[in-house]
Structure 1
Amino acid sequence: MDKKSIEAEIASYTGKLFRDNFGKGPSSIYVSCVRPFITIHLRDFLAPMEKVLVKQNNNLKVQETRDLLMQELLPDIKATVRTTAKVEIRNIYYDWSLENKTGIILAEMAESDTENDNDYLSYPSREQVHEEIVRFSEKAQKAPRNLHSLMLNPRTLVIVREGILVRIEKELIAAGFEEQLKLSKRRLEKSLLNTDLLESLLGVQIEDIFADWDFSLDKGYIIIIMKPEK
């Protein structure tokens, strides 16, 4: 199966899965398969009941409910991506932008399936982008021990940070407050990131910023969705 067929099949399956479980699926789904990631970008996705909660400024309740449901759906998504793309998936991450009615699912391939990559798909101003990521990471918690980024396509930039958790965060995770910490970190980090600077450096308009973490590995993922200039 060629790349476009794989992307189309994953998009079709994801749309049906979300319609069956949320009562409403996204109006469009964009899938991109570029090693070592597969991204699934959902657009115009907000169920009728969620619209009511968002209108009442209960965004946190929507995110908590979605997190509970996603824990049930992730094994199915992981299995379908693995079977369709013929790759092993190490983990899957996700985040939502309720204001924009969008979402992202990021599937990370296992190391054995990421050999002979395109040298992490370089892009202009990478060093300056990394400087901004370090700056805002220091404000949110601490500078990452390791940092790299991949321009998967003209619309998708993935930034991976390792070694960013501070001691109090590790204590909260150990005490069972992982969900609350994750929701709080998303709000904080998105508010601290200088999107104007990033747009200037990348020469694009930023449409969405998503974030998720693997606390067990002390890794954080930032996914920036862009609208390239014509």
Structure 2
Amino acid sequence: MLTTIGSYVSKLLRDHFGKGPESVFVSMGSAYFNIYIRNFLSPMEKVLLEQEQGDVVLELRQKMLDRLLPELRAYLEIQTGQGINELYYDWDLSNKSGMIFGVSSAPFEQGSAIDENYAGRAELEEVINKISKQAQKLPDQTISCLLNPRTLVVMRSGIMVRIEKEMIRLGHGDLLRNVKRQLEKSYLQSSSQFENILQQQVVDSFVDWHFELDKSVILFVLKPNKITGGNEPDTG
């Protein structure tokens, strides 16, 4: 089923962007799923990036994904038999990669076991809380887990301050999302502290928000070491 979902996402992107990704890796565990997209950049986007128009590429992708997500949600619900309560997405244009992450209404029957007791969890969550406090406020709650040996998920709730809520009420949600993403990624992509904690190389990092629920997801894609090998595709 995971392969079927990956093929569907690849075709969906190819049909709407003119070029599909090199690979799509889908993983599920507990009530979480993640779709990791690699080597995805259309010819038009490549030209825009060469002209230093990365913001335009991200804006176009945001508009396109906002149109595609209802279709993707419906497909996932049919395939998994679960309602999809939350969807998040983000891109790393420099790595030509992306993620679509979701939370279902109940654990997936097809999902693998997640690791909530991975080495370094308390220290990593402490660092994430410090970053959150610098960027906005200390989260009301921070939880994390390894969805699989190469995918680390951090979920935060209660992180928005009053001025951010007011910006959303006034219709400036897209601007707020872009500003927050640039700010937090400047911290997250200084990956040495996370690599020291996890004893693994961080290949990719993503972040997105669900403003209505006052929640956020951070996702790290890790390069496997000898201890945490697996059957997932090579990530770099």
Is 1:22 aligned with 2:17?
A: yes
| Residue in structure 1 matched with residue 45 of structure 2 by the alignment | 50
1:49-128 superposed matches below 5 A? 49-110=44-105, 112-113=106-107, 121-128=116-123
Instruction: Please give the alpha-carbon distance, in whole angstroms, between the structure 1 residues aligned to 2:144 and 2:45.
Output: 33
Instruction: Please give the alpha-carbon distance, in whole angstroms, between the structure 2 residues aligned to 1:75 and 1:126.
Output: 34
1:1-230 superposed matches below 5 A? 6-110=1-105, 112-113=106-107, 121-193=116-188, 194-230=190-226
> Unaligned 5+ residue runs, structure 2?
227-236
Runs (4 or more) in structure 1 with deviation over 4 Å come to 117-120
**AA partner of residue 146 (structure 1):** Q
**AA partner of residue 198 (structure 2):** L
Deviations 1:6-28 (A, max 9, x none): 11000010011110000001011
Instruction: Please give the alpha-carbon distance, in whole angstroms, between the structure 2 residues aligned to 1:142 and 1:18.
Output: 35
| Residue in structure 2 matched with residue 3 of structure 1 by the alignment | none
Shift of 1:93: 0.9
Instruction: Please give the alpha-carbon distance, in whole angstroms, between the structure 2 residues aligned to 1:75 and 1:107.
Output: 13
Q: Percentage identity across aligned positions?
A: 43
Instruction: Please give the alpha-carbon distance, in whole angstroms, between the structure 2 residues aligned to 1:83 and 1:98.
Output: 31
Instruction: Please give the alpha-carbon distance, in whole angstroms, between the structure 2 residues aligned to 1:7 and 1:144.
Output: 32
* Secondary structure of 2:82's aligned partner: coil
Q: Is the 8 A contact 2:29 2:108 kept in 1?
A: no
Superposed CA RMSD: 1.7
Instruction: Please give the alpha-carbon distance, in whole angstroms, between the structure 2 residues aligned to 1:168 and 1:56.
Output: 34
CA gap of 1:120–1:173, structure 2 versus 1, over 3 A, is farther
Q: Is the 8 A contact 1:10 1:31 kept in 2?
A: yes
TM-score by length of 2: 0.91
Q: Is the 8 A contact 1:209 1:225 kept in 2?
A: yes
TM-score by length of 1: 0.93
Shift of 1:119: 7.3
Shift of 1:121: 2.9
Deviations 1:20-78 (A, max 9, x none): 00000101111101121111000000111101111111111111111111111101111
CA gap of 1:30–1:119, structure 2 versus 1, over 3 A, is closer
Instruction: Please give the alpha-carbon distance, in whole angstroms, between the structure 2 residues aligned to 1:118 and 1:29.
Output: 21
**AA partner of residue 71 (structure 2):** D
